[in-house]
Amino acid sequence: MALQFTTSYLADSIALFHYYKQLAERGMAQIDDEQLSAVLDGEMNSIAVIVKHMAGNMRSRWTDFLTSDGEKPDRNRDSEFEEPPATREAVYALWEEGWQCLFSALAPLSDADLNRTITIRGEPHSVMQAINRQVAHYAYHCGQIVLLAKHFNAAEWKSLSVPRKQSGEFNRRVLAGEASQR
């Protein structure tokens, strides 16, 4: 993702959400269907379960973002960590539904909305705090997805950033204007 200069907190936050979404998608694209539901041990979550959790969180946090508590009464968080979606299509459908909730909630906002108060689990947050909270949460889980995908694809893994032992070439390309820095 090319870094674009901005002084808009919202524009930068939306760009970060898109970046992490793409990063996880590029990782998931490198593994097979079985690996989406594979776990490293009994205490770990699979990529499919992480996606299910993220989608549940996004639906809860971003639906009626400015007008209702970010923890919806019909959300069953514990169930998000059980029974992963059965197919790649089901995983991707949840993934897209979750992100659609987020982007639809952020699209109409302006920087003037950042000081508004919303609630999450009954606790007041500024809109900016709520966005920061979710950027951190989703970056954490997207990192888990990438780590698992890289583990499962090992020798066939195609780097999502600067490949090992190629930072000199990458820096040369950046300075020549041929590559993005982000």
3 CB neighbour count, 10 Å cutoff? 11
Asked whether residue 181 is domain-assigned, the answer is: no
Asked whether residue 130 is domain-assigned, the answer is: yes
Residues 6+ apart with CB under 8 A from 149: 27, 28, 30, 31, 35, 47, 157
Asked whether residue 103 is domain-assigned, the answer is: yes
> What would the mean pLDDT of 63-78 be, rounded to a whole number?
96
- Give residue 172's pLDDT: 65
Examine the pLDDT at 182 and tell me if it is beyond 50: no
Asked whether residue 39 is domain-assigned, the answer is: yes
> What would the mean pLDDT of 156-163 be, rounded to a whole number?
84
> What would the mean pLDDT of 3-26 be, rounded to a whole number?
91
Asked whether residue 4 is domain-assigned, the answer is: no
- Give residue 181's pLDDT: 44
Paired with 117 in beta bridges are 126
Asked whether residue 22 is domain-assigned, the answer is: yes
- Give residue 168's pLDDT: 72
Domains contained in the chain, number: 1
Asked whether residue 180 is domain-assigned, the answer is: no
Domain containing 143 equals 9-175
- Give residue 161's pLDDT: 82
Asked whether residue 101 is domain-assigned, the answer is: yes
How far apart are the two ends of the chain, measured CA to CA in Å? Answer: 5
Examine the pLDDT at 2 and tell me if it is beyond 60: no
Tell me the CATH number at 168.
1.20.120.450
